[in-house]
Each structure stands twice: as structure tokens, then as C-alpha cells.
Amino acid sequence: MVDLSDAEIGAFKTQLEAQLKELEAVRSVSKDASAVVQLDQQSVGRLSRMDALQSQAMAQETERRRLVTLRKIKAALARISEGEFGYCVVCGEEIALARLKLDPAAATCILHAR
């Protein structure tokens, strides 16, 4: 097992903070896409409404996934602050560096990722 150096943890923190900032910026821009679809049958046809409903559903699912990612990033930043970053939240073993490089927000080792 290799402990992460302060420089490595700092690099992960910088990367996570950048991802957090980017996701929050995207969220603020895309809020209109998941707004309620108006069902005024006089102003739009049936196919247009169906298109709008489908677009709304896709936007809502995208937003849900963004929220999940935001929570993961915030939790990883909290683990950094608490000195617990890089360790599996289930078993306490070290998370492989290669796994953290792929996903710095990973909270579990590969064994407990399933």
C-alpha cells in the first residue's frame, strides 16, 4: 500500500474543486430546460408537445445525474478535509491510485464498488 502524498491529495482537491465549479455553472445555465412544459393544445400540436415532454424528461434525468455527481464530489472534498481521502468508506482499505485518477470522487475500493 502506498499512502498519498500531500501533493497528490492537493492535486485531487484542485481537480475536484474544478469539477464542482464546472457542474454548478452548467446547472445554473440549464435550469430552463427542465421547466414545466405548457400543455396548451391551442398553441402547439400534439407532436410538438410530445417532443417538449421528452426533452423535459431528458433534462430532468441529466439534472438528477448532475446532483448525484455533485454530492459525490462534495463528499470527496469533505473526506480530504477530514484526512480520510483515498480510503474505502466500507472497509477502510486504501483505494488504488489508478482508480482515484479515473474518478477522484470514488468513495470505495474496487472490491466494494459493486
31-43: pLDDT as tens digits: 665 555 555 555 5
Q: Kindly state whether residue 90 falls inside one of the protein's structural domains.
A: no
Rounded to whole angstroms, how far apart are CA atoms 52 and 104?
36
Checking if the pLDDT of 97 tops 80, the result is yes
Q: Kindly state whether residue 20 falls inside one of the protein's structural domains.
A: yes
Q: Kindly state whether residue 50 falls inside one of the protein's structural domains.
A: yes
Q: Kindly state whether residue 97 falls inside one of the protein's structural domains.
A: no
In sign, the C-alpha dihedral spanning 30, 36, 38, 44 is: positive
Share of the chain above pLDDT 90, in %: 66
- Amino acid code (one letter) for 51: D
- Which residue matches cell numbers 482499505? 93
- Domain limits for position 21: 6-82
Q: Kindly state whether residue 69 falls inside one of the protein's structural domains.
A: yes
Buried b (16+ CB within 10 A) or exposed e, 31-54: eeebeebeeeeeeeeeeebeeeee
Report residue 1's pLDDT band, with 50, 70 and 90 as the boundaries: very low
pLDDT in tens, 17-70: 999 999 999 887 776 655 555 555 555 666 777 888 888 889 889 999 999 999
Structural domain total, the chain: 1
Q: Kindly state whether residue 21 falls inside one of the protein's structural domains.
A: yes
Q: Kindly state whether residue 75 falls inside one of the protein's structural domains.
A: yes
3-state secondary structure of 6: helix
More confident residue, 50 or 74: 74
Q: Kindly state whether residue 109 falls inside one of the protein's structural domains.
A: no
Distances from the Cα of 49 to the Cα of 19, 32, 44, 53, 108, angstroms = 34, 16, 7, 6, 43
